[in-house]
């Protein structure tokens, strides 16, 4: 199973935003995340990094860099 843990980076700190994520859809700057269990979450953010080996996706503010 290749689910990912999704982190949100804010001010240099990484916080877990959602776990067991199965898909991420980008829609006009908004991200829609779905877990294997059907949970859905939306966030105004941008994808900063996808690490498929570590099973991590890193999000950041969609606007100006905050780090």
User: Binding of a second copy at residue 64 (CB under 8 A)?
Assistant: no
Residues in CB range of 35: below 8 A, 6 or more apart: 3, 18, 19, 20, 21, 22
CB 48 within 8 A of CB 58: yes
Q: What track of x and - describes contact with a second copy for positions 17 through 46 (by CB under 8 A)? A: ----xxxxxx---------x---------x
Question: Cβ closer to a second copy: 12 or 64?
Answer: 64
DSSP 44: E
Contacting positions for a second copy (CB under 8 A): 1-4, 21-26, 36, 46-53, 55, 57
């Amino acid at each position: 199973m290749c689910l990912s843990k999704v982190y949100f980076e804010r001010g240099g700190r990484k916080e877990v935003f959602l776990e067991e994520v199965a898909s991420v859809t980008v829609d006009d700057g908004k991200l829609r995340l779905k877990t294997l269990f059907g949970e859905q979450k939306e966030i105004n953010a941008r994808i900063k990094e996808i690490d498929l080996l570590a099973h991590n996706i890193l999000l950041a503010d969609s606007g100006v860099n905050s780090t």
